[in-house]
Structure 1
Amino acid sequence: MNKKIKWYMLAFMAFSTVWGFGNVINGYYYFNGLHAVIPWIFILGLYFVPYALMVGELGSAFKNLGGGVGSWVEETMGRRMAFYAGWTYWVVHMPYLSQKPTAALIGVGWAVFRDGRIGEWSALSLQLLALGVFIAAVLLSLMGLKFLKKISSAAGTAIFIMSILFILMMAAAPAINGGVSFSDIDWSWESFKPEFGANTFMNIAILIFAVGGCEKLSPYVNKMNDPAKDFPKSMIGLAVMVAVCAVLGTIAMGIMFAGHNIDGSFVADGAYESFRRVGEYYGVGDTLMVIYAVCNAVAQLSVIILSIDAPLRMLLDSSDENYIPRWLTERNKNGVYKNGVLVTAIVAGLLIIIPAFGIGDVHGIVKYIIDLNAVCMPLRYLWVFAAYFMLKKYSGKYTSEYKFVRGKRLGMFFGGWCFALTLYACLIKIFDTDGDIFKLVLNILTPFILVGMGLILPYIAKKTKTKHGSDSYV
C-alpha cells in the first residue's frame, strides 16, 4: 500500500516549487525597493489568493483524474484543447528549468568562497557547468516519486524556515544587539507609493511568475488522505506562507538596504548579502549566509527534479495517441516517463547554453533568464483560468465538495480577470529589453517556438499511430 501524502507535506512541496527568498529580492530590485510592497499586496490579494483557491476547487471537482491541468481542460473544453494545455504547461517549464542550475551554482559559490566571485566568470563557462548540474538532476529525477517527495519536502521546509528567520532576526536585531544600526528609511506614503511608469507595468509579470505554480502539485491530489478537503487546505497554507514572506521580507529589505545603490548584481547576490548582514548583526559573521547558500543550492536542485516529473505527468497521464506519440509515454521501472525526461533534457539544455552566446556577463545572464521566465512561465496559468471559467459556466455538470465561490457569474469573473491580467503581463514583458536586439529576438522566438512545437506533435503521433495500426488510447 502506497503511503499517502499529508496536506502539510504537499504545502511544503508546493512552497519549495512556488517560492524562494529570491522572489523577495526580485520584487525589491524590479520595483525599486519599498515601492514593491503595494504591488505585492495587489498581486497576492487580487491574483494569487483567487488563483490558489480556484486550483483548490478544480482539484476537488476532478479529484479522481491524474493529469492535473490537462485533465481539467479535457473535462471542461474537450480532448484537443487538453492536449494544447498539457503541451503548453510542459514546454514553458523549459526556461524555468534552465534557470535553476545556474542559481544552484551561485549558491555553491557563496557557500564555498563566501563572496560573489562566480559573477566574475564568463557567462559561457558558468552555463557549461550549469549544464552538467542539470544533467545530474535529470538522472536523479528518474528515481521516481518516493525520492521526489523526500527531497522536495525537506527543501521546502529549509527555505521556509530560513525566509521566516530572516524576517524575525531582522526585527529582533536592535533589541538583542544594541550596536546594530539600520538604514534610516522614510515610512511615509511616498516611500511605498507604486511608481506608475512603464517599468512597473512591464514588471507585473515578475510578480505573477513569482507566485505561480501551485497547480503543478495537482497530479498528487488523489494520493492524499481526503483530496476534497486536504488539497484546498494545502493551497490555503501555501498562500499564507507566500504572503508572510513577500510583504514582510520586502520591508526587511528596505530596512537593510535603504539608501544603497541596487545594481544588476543584486538579483544574483542580494539574498546572500542579506543573510551575511544579518549574521554580522548577531556577531556570527558569514555563518547564516553559508547556511542559506547550502539550503538554496539543495532547494534549486529539488525544484529541477520536481519540475521535470510533475509537468510530464500532466501532459502524459491521460494522453491520447492522436496527439502524443507512443514512444513518449514509455515508463521506466519507477513509473517515470523516460523518453519525456530525455526530451526535457534536450530542450532545457539548449536554453541553458544559447543565451551565453549573446550575453557576456553572469549577472546579465541571471537577470535575462528571470525576464525570459516572466514571459514564458505564466502562459501555463492561462489554461487554469480558462478551465475554471468553463467549470463555473457549466457548474451544474460538476460536483465539488470545496468551492472557491458559489456564484456562477462571480466565478466566471474571477477566472476571466486572472486570465486577462496574465496574458497582458506576458505580452508586455516581451519588450522589456532595454533596447537589446538579441534579448528581444529571444523573447519573441522562445515562447512561439516552444508553444508552436505542439502543433507538430499531433502530426508525428498520427504517423506513429498509422505505423502501429492502433486506434487505442494510451
Structure 2
Amino acid sequence: MTKNEKQKKLTLITLILMIFTSVFGFANMPRSFYLMGYGAIPWFILGGITYFIPFAFMMAEYGSAFKNEKGGIYSWMEKSVGPKFAFMGVFMWYASYVVWMINICSVIWIPLSNTIFGVDTTSKWGIAGLNSTQVLGILGVMWVYATFTISKRGISKITKITSVGGMAVAILNIVLIIGAIIVFALNKGQFREPITSAMSFVNSPNPGYQTISSILSFLVFALFAYGGIEAVSGLVDQTENPEKTFPKGILIAAAIISVGYSLGIFLIGIFTNWAGKLSGENVNMGNIAYVVMNNLGYTIGESLGLSVDIATQMGNWLARFVGLSMFLALTGAFFTLSYAPLKQLIEGTPAKLWPGKMSVIDENEMPINAMKIQTFIVAVMVIFISMGGSSAKVFFRLLVDMTNVAMTLPYLFLSISYISFRKKDNIKKPFLMIRNKKNAVVVGIIVTAVVGFANIFTIIEPALNGNYSSAIAMIAGPILFIILASLIYGSSEKRK
C-alpha cells in the first residue's frame, strides 16, 4: 500500500464522525421535546433497544464479514439472499436519497440565514426580479455543483468536510449539556418543565399528542430519527483495519447516538417550560431548534441576574451558533450522502446493469460518470421545482411522500437478509456481536417486525387524518421503484 493510499483510509475517529453526521440529527431532540415533552424519552429508548442497537450490530457483522466488498449493502444482500432482491433494495434506497438531496438544496440556506441574521430571512431573498423560491433554486444548483467539484477529488476531501460537520454537532451537544447544567445549578436544582411523577415520562404536554394514533406516529418519528447508519456501510473497504475498526466504529457511534437523544431531551426540560415557551403559534417543527437554544441562552443570562437586553442577546447569539452548527452538519451529511449511496449502487452492482461508461471508476476511486449524471439530475429537478410554480411544488410534495417509505423499506430488506446471512455457514464471519445463531435470527425477526410496523403505520396515519393522497403516494412510491428496478435488472438479464 502506498503512502497516498494509506492517507485515504478512514480512521476510527473519522468513521465515528461520519456515522454521527449521517445519523444524529440535533434538531430531533428539540422536535421530540416539542411533540412529547419528557414523554419522548421512553419511545427513544424503546426504538434504540428494538431497532437501532440491534440494527447497528447487524451492520457491524455484515461489514466485518464483507470487509473487502466495495458495494456496501448491495454486496451484503446479494451474498446473503440474491442479486435481484439486493438490486431492488439498493435501487429504492438510492432513489430516496436523490430526493433527499433535492430537498436539502433549498433547506440548507435556512440555518445559514439564522447564522448571519439571527432569524430565517430566506422568504425575503429576491434579486434581479427573481422571487425567494427562484433564488434558493439557483443557490441550490450552485451548491450541488460545488459538492460535485470537491467530491470528485476523492474520499479524503469528503472526510475533511464531514469531520467538520460531525465536530460542529458534537460541540452543539456539549453546549446544550453544559448550558443545562449551569441553569440547573443557578436555579438550585429546579426544572423549568417540572417532573411531577413517573407519568411525566409518559404523557405529552402537547394537546396534539394525546391520542393513540398520534403517540404511535411519534414512535415512528423516533425510529426514523435513528436512520442512516447503513449509508456509510459502503466505506468498509476504505477503512483502516476494517475487520476491527468498522464494527468498533459502528458500535461506539450507536451507543453515543442512543444515549445522546434521550439525554438531550431530558436536559431541554431543565431550561424550557413547554407551556410558557413552546405553546405559541409562532413555534413549529421548522424553527423549534432555534427557539429552544435561544431560550437556553436567555435563561442562562436571566439566571445570572443579567439585564433583559443582555440575556436576549445571549439567546440570539446561541441561536446563531445553532444555525452555523446545523449548516455545517447538513453540509457534512450532504457530502456523505451524495457519494456513499451512489458508490454502493454503482460499485456493488454488476457493470452490465449500467449503460455506456456509467460504471467507470476513476483514479480517485470515484464513480465519476455516475456522479456527473446524478449532479445533472439533482440540478435539473431543483431548477424545475423552484421555477415551475405551484404545480411543481405539488409534484415535489408527491415525490417526497413517495420516497418517505421507500427510504426506510431497505432496512426491511437488510434485516430479512440478515436472517439468511446468519443461517449461511459458508459465509466467513470474523466478528459476531450475537454469537448464538438462533438468538441472532430472533433479533433479525424482531427488527423486521418493528421496521415493518413503522412503515405500515406511516402509510396508514395520513389516511386516518383524511389525507388519502399522501397514503396512496407512499404505497405507489415503493411499487414504482420496484417496477423500475425490475425493468433495469430484466433488461441486463436479456443482454446477458
Bin for the TM-score computed over the shorter chain: 0.7 to 0.9
After superposition, the Cα gap between the structure-2 partners of 1:322 and 1:130, relative to the gap in structure 1 and judged at 3 Å, is closer
Tell me how far 1:14 sits from its aligned partner: 0.6
Tell me how far 1:367 sits from its aligned partner: 11
**Is contact 1:103–1:300 with CA below 8 Å preserved after alignment?**
no
> Which residue of the partner structure matches residue 270 of structure 1?
288
Tell me how far 1:138 sits from its aligned partner: 3.6
Which of 167, 192, 201 in structure 2 is aligned with 1:183?
192
Provide the C-alpha distance between the structure 2 equivalents of 1:126 and 1:427, rounded to a whole number of angstroms.
Answer: 38
Unaligned stretches of 5+ residues in structure 1? none
> Which residue of the partner structure matches residue 106 of structure 1?
110
Amino acid at match of 2:163: S
TM-score where L is the length of structure 2: 0.82
After superposition, the Cα gap between the structure-2 partners of 1:111 and 1:369, relative to the gap in structure 1 and judged at 3 Å, is farther
More deviation in 61-70 or 366-375?
366-375
Amino acid at match of 1:271: A
Which of 11, 24, 39 in structure 2 is aligned with 1:19?
24
After superposition, the Cα gap between the structure-2 partners of 1:170 and 1:83, relative to the gap in structure 1 and judged at 3 Å, is same
Which of 10, 16, 21 in structure 1 is aligned with 2:15?
10
Tell me how far 1:22 sits from its aligned partner: 1.3
> Which residue of the partner structure matches residue 160 of structure 2?
150
Provide the C-alpha distance between the structure 2 equivalents of 1:175 and 1:294, rounded to a whole number of angstroms.
Answer: 28
> Which residue of the partner structure matches residue 50 of structure 1?
54
> Which residue of the partner structure matches residue 88 of structure 2?
84
> Which residue of the partner structure matches residue 316 of structure 1?
346
Provide the C-alpha distance between the structure 2 equivalents of 1:7 and 1:219, rounded to a whole number of angstroms.
Answer: 15
> Which residue of the partner structure matches residue 61 of structure 1?
65
Provide the C-alpha distance between the structure 2 equivalents of 1:196 and 1:410, rounded to a whole number of angstroms.
Answer: 35
Provide the C-alpha distance between the structure 2 equivalents of 1:147 and 1:318, rounded to a whole number of angstroms.
Answer: 22
Which of 218, 240, 254 in structure 2 is aligned with 1:225?
240
Q: What do residues 70-89 of structure 1 show as CA deviations (whole Å, max 9, x unaligned)?
A: 11111111222222232123
Amino acid at match of 1:140: I
**Is contact 1:64–1:222 with CA below 8 Å preserved after alignment?**
yes
> Which residue of the partner structure matches residue 241 of structure 1?
256
Tell me how far 1:190 sits from its aligned partner: 2.0
* 3-state SS of paired residue (1:430): helix
After superposition, the Cα gap between the structure-2 partners of 1:181 and 1:138, relative to the gap in structure 1 and judged at 3 Å, is farther
* 3-state SS of paired residue (1:21): coil
After superposition, the Cα gap between the structure-2 partners of 1:330 and 1:226, relative to the gap in structure 1 and judged at 3 Å, is closer
Amino acid at match of 2:157: F
* 3-state SS of paired residue (1:432): helix
Amino acid at match of 2:289: A
Provide the C-alpha distance between the structure 1 equivalents of 2:171 and 2:331, rounded to a whole number of angstroms.
Answer: 18
After superposition, the Cα gap between the structure-2 partners of 1:315 and 1:220, relative to the gap in structure 1 and judged at 3 Å, is same
Q: What do residues 79-113 of structure 1 show as CA deviations (whole Å, max 9, x unaligned)?
A: 22222232123122123223323332110111122
After TM superposition, list the pairs within 5 Å mapping 1:379-418 onto structure 2.
379-394=409-424, 396-418=425-447
Provide the C-alpha distance between the structure 2 equivalents of 1:15 and 1:197, rounded to a whole number of angstroms.
Answer: 31
Which of 324, 339, 343 in structure 2 is aligned with 1:294?
324
> Which residue of the partner structure matches residue 448 of structure 1?
479
After superposition, the Cα gap between the structure-2 partners of 1:223 and 1:341, relative to the gap in structure 1 and judged at 3 Å, is closer
Provide the C-alpha distance between the structure 2 equivalents of 1:79 and 1:296, rounded to a whole number of angstroms.
Answer: 38
Tell me how far 1:58 sits from its aligned partner: 0.9
Unaligned stretches of 5+ residues in structure 2? 126-130, 204-209, 302-313
> Which residue of the partner structure matches residue 307 of structure 2?
none
Provide the C-alpha distance between the structure 2 equivalents of 1:82 and 1:277, rounded to a whole number of angstroms.
Answer: 47
Provide the C-alpha distance between the structure 1 equivalents of 2:477 and 2:375, rounded to a whole number of angstroms.
Answer: 16
Amino acid at match of 2:21: S
Which of 336, 346, 353 in structure 2 is aligned with 1:306?
336
After superposition, the Cα gap between the structure-2 partners of 1:262 and 1:226, relative to the gap in structure 1 and judged at 3 Å, is farther
Tell me how far 1:309 sits from its aligned partner: 0.9
More deviation in 259-268 or 382-391?
259-268
Tell me how far 1:379 sits from its aligned partner: 1.5
Amino acid at match of 1:189: A
Are 1:430 and 2:459 counterparts?
yes
TM-score where L is the length of structure 1: 0.86
Which of 143, 154, 163 in structure 2 is aligned with 1:133?
143
After superposition, the Cα gap between the structure-2 partners of 1:423 and 1:326, relative to the gap in structure 1 and judged at 3 Å, is farther
Which of 155, 163, 166 in structure 1 is aligned with 2:173?
163
Tell me how far 1:146 sits from its aligned partner: 1.2
Q: Highest Rg: 1 or 2? A: 2
Tell me how far 1:270 sits from its aligned partner: 1.1
Provide the C-alpha distance between the structure 2 equivalents of 1:257 and 1:365, rounded to a whole number of angstroms.
Answer: 39
**Is contact 2:41–2:266 with CA below 8 Å preserved after alignment?**
yes
Which of 406, 420, 434 in structure 1 is aligned with 2:449?
420
* 3-state SS of paired residue (1:435): coil
After superposition, the Cα gap between the structure-2 partners of 1:350 and 1:422, relative to the gap in structure 1 and judged at 3 Å, is farther
**Is contact 2:193–2:269 with CA below 8 Å preserved after alignment?**
no
**Is contact 1:40–1:246 with CA below 8 Å preserved after alignment?**
yes
Amino acid at match of 2:172: M
RMSD (CA atoms): 3.3
How many residues end up aligned between the 2 structures? 460
Provide the C-alpha distance between the structure 1 equivalents of 2:79 and 2:457, rounded to a whole number of angstroms.
Answer: 31
Tell me how far 1:176 sits from its aligned partner: 4.8
Provide the C-alpha distance between the structure 1 equivalents of 2:474 and 2:226, rounded to a whole number of angstroms.
Answer: 21
Amino acid at match of 1:82: A
Provide the C-alpha distance between the structure 2 equivalents of 1:224 and 1:10, rounded to a whole number of angstroms.
Answer: 8
Amino acid at match of 1:162: L
Which of 274, 280, 284 in structure 2 is aligned with 1:258?
274
Are 1:211 and 2:229 counterparts?
no
Provide the C-alpha distance between the structure 1 equivalents of 2:33 and 2:315, rounded to a whole number of angstroms.
Answer: 24
